[in-house]
Structure 1
């Protein structure tokens, strides 16, 4: 069984960002404050069951995964992990800039890059590698929950090596807004989300920070406990 607390290194756009407000309102949860928020009226018009539609991503807060949730390996501490985040952020690197769009990905809807960005793939790979010494090994139950029989051979290898199948070449940046939707429901919801996103007027998004999220126990949502600007 998964140990707790769990930690994850994510991209979050900043507490005062319009993108953060956009995501938090749609999920009904602000990972910066831990507060619940009222759902937007247009979301409820298109999907009266919006609470259920957004239930899966709400647990994690609005984010893009860079290092997937993990319990700490014995002997490592939260203080050490925060120091490692600061050290990682302090290393000079190219800062990825994406053209964000709202689209469907693997059955759910998310903010994603319009095209692949090499520097973004590199940032995610660096996170997977450099924080892995903090990760407790997957239990047999945790591995089974990933449904390895449905993964490709490479994804299974990555699951066993990195504790998460969607790393390295399998990584796809996404900031999730819904759970999985069947095709019949997806169209109207996608149209509504694209209209809301267009109102932000966000032509580019710089991936210029990392945030440390923490989940205290199995019933808790993830909350942001630290964030660091990446050094150009």
Structure 2
């Protein structure tokens, strides 16, 4: 089993529901969801281009997938995650927008968010003790020869190259695409997500995801609300 600590909106959030339709799977229930009917893009094409992000579920990575350290147990991680989330204050994300990231599309922030960058780094550090060290085979699968020096150092120190100063918040929506496909996929994404991207998105929880067996789809195991319990009750 592998775990990951991510951000994803609550199960009933309009953005969550829109993403479930686009990706074809609800990351909370694990159930298949019918793809939308979009002009110029067939349902079978959406299914093909979303196969990779569908398996990982709608999320933004904070602590990338890891095996639990052999000296530790899930219950201890859950207790620490609940405690840690309680020390954080919820905040509103800058507006999200569709963007191309290399050869795939995802949701990114319209402007930097230092508060989010700080939180992401804190999550990586706080929960690294729960991560089993990477094997040499796992390191090789991450193509270390293609990484920059800081990314390579992050991979060995934190188990993932894109953390700390290399962190960039994004929520993947497609797998790799050929260049000729970019305009058509982008148009479909904008048409599908436009109704929900005008609404603010609250960053108010940390989500523990699980992959129950190798190759299985990731699913939300539990949500851990941010903020003191007393403050949440008052709100």
CA distance in 1, matches of 2:141, 2:11: 32
Q: 1:201 to 1:144 in 2, by over 3 A?
A: closer
* TM-score when normalising by structure 2: 0.92
Matched, 1:7 2:16: no
1:101-180 alignment runs, 5 A limit: 101-180=97-176
TM-score by length of 1: 0.93
Say if 1:96 and 1:117, in contact at 8 Å, map to a contact too: no
Residue 146 of structure 1, CA deviation: 0.5
Distance 1:118 1:34, change over 3 A: same
Specify the alignment match of 1:187 in structure 2: 183
74, 81, 86: which one pairs with 1:85? Answer: 81
Deviations 1:51-84 (A, max 9, x none): 2210111111101101000000112111111111
TM-superposed CA distance for 1:150, in Å, is 0.5
Kindly report the root-mean-square deviation, in angstroms, between the aligned alpha carbons of the 2 structures: 1.6
Corresponding residue of 2:23: 27
Kindly indicate whether residue 30 of structure 2 is the aligned counterpart of residue 39 of structure 1.
Answer: no
Alignment length (residue pairs)? 228
Query: Partner residue of 2:232?
Result: none
Which of these residues, 100, 120, 126, is aligned with residue 96 of structure 2? 100
1:226 paired to 2:229:
no
Aligned counterparts of 2:43 and 2:27: Cα–Cα separation in 1: 23
Alignment equivalent of 1:213, drawn from 205, 209, 214: 209
Q: CA deviation at 1:43?
A: 7.4
1:71 aligns with 2:67: yes
- Which residue number corresponds to residue 49 of structure 1? 45
